[in-house]
Homo-oligomer: A and B are copies of this chain.
Amino acid sequence: MDTGSIAWMLTATLLVLFMTPGLAFFYGGLVRGRNVVSTLMYSFIAMGVASIVWVLWGYSLAFNDTGNGIVGGLEFIGLSNVSYTEGDGIPDLLFAAFQMTFAIITPALITGAFVERFKFTTYLIFLVLWVTLVYAPVCHWVWGGGWIGGLDGGALDFAGGTVVHINAGIAAVAAAYLVGKRRNPGVEPHNVPFVVLGAAILWIGWFGFNAGSQLAADGVAVQAFVNTNTAAAVAAVVWALLSFIHTGRISAVGVATGVVAGLVAVTPAAGWVGTMGSFAIGLGAGIICHYAVHFEILHKLGIDDSLEVFAVHGLGGIWGALATGIFAWGALTDTAGGLVNGNAGHFVANLIAVVVTLLYSGIVSFVILFVLDKIPGLGLRISAGDEDIGIDITAHGERGTVADGAD
């Protein structure tokens, strides 16, 4: 056991955990004022529900490798048999805690697709099912000893581009499709400072995500750290410039979205590319995600992915996965490197991982939600009246802010 690595991984775990409230504020600032509590709670409650699922059975399903390549075993149920003192550099229990934070934020990311109208009680059940049936298996495939991690050529997903972002991005499409469009989406985000606060917390937290995924306080973690920041910075500035070119103004929400796009894209690559590789990844992410948002691609198909989860996390994640195959640097990957080094192995393996994840997560998420929609007493959508009044008061009995004279 190395105390320095334990120290860093305790910190990294907290950083990733803090991302979920960061996301809560990011999303919360983007919706209408009457739905801010609800939007915050979609993310915040995931810290409760997904933690419990992870401790009880999620970690076991994802990381109790029994060699079948598809899904883990049950030996780590309740985190039993997960040592708090022994492990590979850090205690196994710390690894379980670190991975838990990923299982929390991934479903929270999805909620951006269905804010302002998704039934909260159904959502609680969705959380349990989705972490169990979608997140845990995909996580197992990539990191838990499953078949994607074992692909010839070597699928590279340093910190969860596939497991987290593509996975959430495509589930968001299914959810937005099934829940239907908002009745009245309003015009502007109701609280830009919340968006900036959320983006700042996400940016900071993401260093735990990416540099933490090295699971040690070493040089690769440092490289992942620098790459994370570089991609975020570049994508933010790219978005600012594109915003200025197209509109003559520089949207703060756009810059914040650029930050997230850069962070998403560098996630799978973080410890496997050099600084200038991350620069290129940030550049691509800024351009791709900006135009995906700019042209409202899903909205034109009639799918109200309200906060553009697919455009940012789905497309950003796909770009990142492919870019990892392009820019992977042999010295870091201990392989022949990416396309820039003339090796297509990683690129192809990552492409397979992307396609399979899109299919699996898209289909299973769709089925889960479809079934929940049909179960009497559940259903995905609140009533039209409740939606008009605002979900804060109708589902949570609260208003975001109270500022009338009588309070």
Contacts and interface: CB of A to CB of B under 8 A. Distances in A.
Interface stretch (A138-146, A151-159, A247-255): A247-255
A37 B192 contact: yes
B124 A240 contact: yes
B10 A84 contact: no
Contacts of A276: 78
Interface string A76-92: 00111001111000110
A40 B197 CA distance: 9
Interface string A1-17: 11111111011011101
Contacts of A13: 225
B407 A188 contact: yes
A92 to B, nearest CB: 9
A25 B193 contact: yes
Contacts of A10: 8, 11, 207, 211, 217, 221-222, 225
B222 A400 contact: no
Contacts of A191: 400-402
Contacts of A222: 6, 10, 84, 90-91, 93-94, 97
Interface stretch (A43-51, A313-321, A371-379): A43-51
A40 B193 contact: yes
Given A194-B193, A237-B49, A100 B229 contact: yes
A219 B18 contact: no
A275 interface: yes
Interface residues of A, number: 113
Contact of A197 (B25, B220, B226, B398): B25
A223 interface: yes
Contacts of A336: none
B233 A47 contact: yes
A275 B79 contact: yes
A185 B134 CA distance: 47
A279 interface: yes
A45 B279 contact: no
B275 A234 contact: no
Contacts of A7: 3-5, 7-8, 11, 217
A72 interface: no
A385 interface: no
A242 interface: no
A217 B85 CA distance: 11
Interface string A364-407: 00000000000000000000000000001011111111110011
Interface in A176-192: 186-192
Given A2-B4, A10-B221, A14-B15, 8 more contacts: A10-B11, A25-B197, A41-B255, A51-B232, A55-B226, A55-B279, A191-B402, A192-B398
14 contacts: A2-B3, A3-B5, A3-B8, A4-B5, A11-B11, A48-B236, A51-B232, A78-B276, A85-B219, A186-B407, A188-B398, A192-B392, A192-B399, A192-B400
Interface of A: 1-8, 10-11, 13-15, 17-18, 21, 24-25, 28, 32-34, 36-37, 40-41, 44-45, 47-49, 51-52, 55, 78-80, 83-86, 90-91, 93-94, 96-97, 100, 120-121, 124, 186-194, 196-197, 199-200, 203-204, 207, 211, 216-223, 225-226, 229-230, 232-234, 236-237, 240, 244, 247, 249-253, 255-256, 258-259, 275-276, 279, 392, 394-403, 406-407
The 6 closest A-B pairs by CB, nearest first: A3-B4, A21-B200, A85-B219, A51-B233, A7-B8, A249-B397
